[in-house]
Structure formats: C-alpha cells, structure tokens
Amino acid sequence: MRAHAEVIAEPGPYGTRLGTLRSQAPLLLRPTPDALYLVSGAAGPLGGDELELTLTVRTGAALTVRTTAATLALPGRTGAPSLLRIRATVEDGARLDFLPEPTIVAARARHHADTFVTLTGDARLTWHDALILGRHDEPGGTYRGRLYADLDGRPLLRHALDLDPADDETTGPAVLQGHRSVTTVLTVGAEPVPDEPPTPTSATMRLAGSATAALRTVLGSGPDARRPVRDSGHAYRTAVIRA
C-alpha cells in the first residue's frame, strides 16, 4: 500500500488555520481545537507499505500533531520492510510540536522511518519519537530510523538508529543496555539548552548548529516511552485550528 497525507498550517484571523488538509488511507488527518490528530485507517503499517506525511508550518502559525493510539508495525507476506517517510518544514517564527504515541515493532516486522525536517530562522520545534521493540512478551522486529534536520540550509542533525533484538550489539551496553524502548526528543527553541548530566539511561546532546537545539535520548522498558517530553521542560503546546 502507498499513501500520502499533507497539511499546511498558516496564520489566520483567529489563530492557526489549516489551508491544506489532505488525507489518504491509512493516513487520516483529523483536526480538533487543541491538535491535529493522525488516525490510522487500517492495521499496520504492514511490511511493504510506503507511507508519506508532509507537514508545513508557515510563519506566524503553530501546529501540534498527535496520534490517537500507538502505531503497530506488522510483518507482511513478502518480508519487505514497511516505510514511513515524514517531511516537515517550519518557517521563521513558526512552531511545530510533533508528539505521537509510541511506535511498536512487532515480532518478525521490519520497519523503516525516515524523517526530514527543514527549519528557518527563529523556527521552534519539539520532535518526539518513541520506539518499542515488541508487544508484551515478544522479542520485537527490526527497526531502521533516520532523523535529518537542517537549519537555514545547513545540517543541524544527522541521527541514525538501527535496532535488531537478535543482534548482540543492539541489545548490549553500547545501545539498548537490555531495555526495549528508545525515545528521542529533538528540541529547537528560543531558550538556551540547560546543562543536564547524563544518567545510565538518558543523555542530552547539544547541537553545534544552534545554541537552543538539543537531542535527548532515553532508554526504557516500554510503558514509560512518553516520559522524556514531560521531563525536558518543554510543555505540550497547542494550536487553535480553524479550517
């Protein structure tokens, strides 16, 4: 299955309005007064699916994107990976908070996630990505994630995460340390990044391209995969959405 959904948020007379809102099953976009929700119109993604989401936030607009439930990546018949590609553009003076529920990679599934974020000027961003390997009492499938962010045409972040529960390097002390969930939070804002000492399961890395940009990584057991956003000091921002 192939599908593409797109939203363009722009300033309006009563706050942020969605000038473009285009859904294609299984990527269904549903606006509410506090956020834009991404609703799955079918099971999956299944192996072989190629899904793409395009987000654009114009100058002066603010957009919060959430999901109604966790995403469950499932194996397909052919063994091909599923792919979710997200392209986000946040213009100068705009804000995007991407706060989905976790992605769960089921046993035997192969899931790829490619994210490309383009920021300009004083754009503000919170990008939350939580991954859980396997449902309850199952080993989980394999995952390949890429998060690329550019600020004013220059690279800000190039982040890669490859996980395989059957690989000793993945499960060992260098990556998962025996945990089954990984959460990353990319923040770009107006406030300088505070000093946060690392712990055995969390670390915050300042990004060289901006004094207000950081990537926070937290390991967990699964149910706590949403905690890092709350701990990071960045409140959940909402936008008034009017069509």
pTM, rounded to two decimals: 0.89
pLDDT in tens, 120-175: 999 999 999 999 999 988 889 999 999 999 999 999 999 999 999 888 887 788 78
Count of all residues that appear for the chain in the document: 243
Task: Tell which residue, 178, 57, 67, has the closest CA to residue 119.
Answer: 57
pLDDT for the residue 225: 52
Mean pLDDT of 195-218: 87
Contact 86, 115 (CB under 8 A): yes
pLDDT for the residue 223: 53
pLDDT for the residue 40: 85
Contact 133, 170 (CB under 8 A): no
Structural domain that includes position 74: 2-242
Q: Number of structural domains, the chain?
A: 1
Q: In whole angstroms, what is the distance from residue 127 CA to residue 216 CA?
A: 10
Q: Which of 90-94, 192-196, 234-238 has the highest mean pLDDT?
A: 90-94
Q: What string of H, E and C letters represents the secondary structure of 186-218?
A: EEECCCCCCCCCCECCEEEEECCCCCCEEEEEE
User: What's the token pair of residue 51?
Assistant: 């899904």
Q: In whole angstroms, what is the distance from residue 77 CA to residue 47 CA?
A: 7
Q: In whole angstroms, what is the distance from residue 207 CA to residue 193 CA?
A: 9
